[in-house]
Amino acid sequence: MIVARFFYAMKTIQTNILLVEDDASLSTVLADYLRSKGYTVETAHNGKEAWELILIKHYDLIISDIMMPKMNGYELLKLIRAQQTPLPVIIVSAKTDRDDIISAYNLGCDDYMTKPFSMDILICKIEAVLRRARMTHESEQTEWQLGDIVFDSVRQLLGDTHLSTRENDLLKMLCLSMGQLVDRNRILMSIWGADTYFNARSLSVYVNHLRKYLGEDTPIRIMSVHGKGYKLVIMDK
């Protein structure tokens, strides 16, 4: 199996970004801006060209459009995730329809931005995605037995359920602090990059997703501590 090579960048190490955009003008402007912020940027004009680069080079992050010739962003995302590599992907697209956005997340993108967008917000999202990638990479333990279910954080699998990146990162944070309170602000800053009202609402939704995946028959519970955070506990049978 061909596995795309990549490494996780710290602040002191150059961050390699592959920008996939068929609009030449936008690609040039965006690439120049990212370089001005200290990132190393390479460009591709469609998914096919990007995939050929991913197979032979290492990248810390992919930023990709959706509607492109030869191979679109969805198809590129499928190829990346088929290799079971956690290479982070941010989708930047003019497609604003709810179903299009959900499709991108279901295929495994780490974040989604609609055009036109703020360059400053893009930088914030890049740093948040890279922080989550580093957190996943740096932890030694990657697998937990949760009742009768195995959680594999590398493959993003909870039993037979494939988790989204944020679901995976959230459950991993809770597993690493099993039985201990994980502060809500810490979760939001580590996974979402900001403690805002909307991110807090999103966190609640992801917690409910994980509770549903774990089921009621397992002794594993995600407990809410009002106003403070969450903790993963094993209940007495």
92 sits in the region (left: phi over 0; alpha: psi -120 to 50; else beta) called beta
Average pLDDT over residues 128-136: 75
> How many angstroms separate the CA atoms of 137 and 14, rounded?
17
pTM above 0.85, yes or no: no
> How many angstroms separate the CA atoms of 121 and 83, rounded?
29
Contact (CB, 8 A) for 72 and 43: no
pLDDT class of 142 with cuts at 50, 70, 90: confident
Average pLDDT over residues 181-201: 87
State the pLDDT at residue 135.
64
Contact (CB, 8 A) for 200 and 188: yes
State the pLDDT at residue 140.
62
Average pLDDT over residues 218-229: 88
140-234 belongs to CATH 3.50.50.60: no
Pick the CATH number of 16-137 from 3.60.20.10, 3.40.630.30, 3.40.50.2300, 3.40.1390.30: 3.40.50.2300
Contact (CB, 8 A) for 77 and 50: no
Structural domain boundaries of the chain? 16-137, 140-234
146 sits in the region (left: phi over 0; alpha: psi -120 to 50; else beta) called beta
- In our burial notation (b when 16+ CB lie closer than 10 A, e otherwise), range 38-67 reads ebebebbbbbbbbbebbeeeebbbbbbbbe
pLDDT class of 85 with cuts at 50, 70, 90: low
pLDDT at 237 over 60: no
Interval 145-157: pLDDT, tens: 998 899 999 889 9
pLDDT at 137 over 70: no
